[in-house]
Amino acid sequence: MKILISADMEGATGVTWPADVLPGTPQWERCRALFTSDVNAAALGFFDGGADEVLINEAHWSMRNLLLERLDERVEMLTGRHKSLSMVEGVQHGDVDGIAFVGYHTGAGTEGVLAHTYLANSITGVWLNGTRASEGLLNAHVVAEYGVPVVLVTGDDLTCADAEGYAPGAHKVAVKDHVSRYAAVCRTPSRTAADIRAAAKEAAGLAGRHDPVRGGPFTVELEFDAEHLTMAATVVPGTERTGERRVAYTSETMYDGIRTFKAVTTIVSSAVEEQYG
Ligand SMILES: [Zn+2]
**Per-chain mean pLDDT for the chain:** 97
CA of residue 21 to ligand 1 center, whole Å: 10
In the Cβ-directed half-sphere of 140, how many Cα atoms lie within 13 Å?
Answer: 21
Would you state the pLDDT for residue 195?
Answer: 98
- 103: left (phi > 0), else alpha (psi -120 to 50), else beta? left
Pairing of strands 123-128, 131-132: antiparallel
Q: What is the pLDDT of residues 51-76, one digit of tens each?
A: 999 999 999 999 999 999 999 999 99
pLDDT digits (tens, 9 = 90+) for 99-137: 999 999 999 999 999 999 999 999 999 999 999 999 999
Share of residues in the chain with pLDDT > 70 (%): 100
* Average confidence (pLDDT) over 172-186: 98
Determine the Cα–Cα distance for residues 22 and 27; give it in Å rounded to an integer: 8
For residue 65, the model assigns a pLDDT of: 97
pLDDT at 82: 93
107 alpha carbon to ligand 1 midpoint, in Å? 9
**Sign of the torsion formed by the C-alpha atoms of 138, 81, 197 and 202:** positive
Q: Calculate how far, in angstroms, residue 135's C-alpha sits from the geometric centre of ligand 1.
A: 6
* CA–centroid distance, residue 217 to ligand 1 (Å): 24
pTM over 0.95: yes
Ligand 1 centroid to Cα of residue 75, in Å, is 22
Confidence of residue 6 (pLDDT cuts 50, 70, 90): very high
In angstroms, what is the span from residue 105 Cα to ligand 1's centroid? 6
> How remote is the CA of residue 134 from the centroid of ligand 1, in Å?
9
Cα 141 to Cα 258: distance, rounded to the nearest angstrom: 9
Q: Where are the beta strands (DSSP E) in 64-207?
A: 76-78, 98-104, 123-128, 131-132, 150-156, 171-180, 183-186
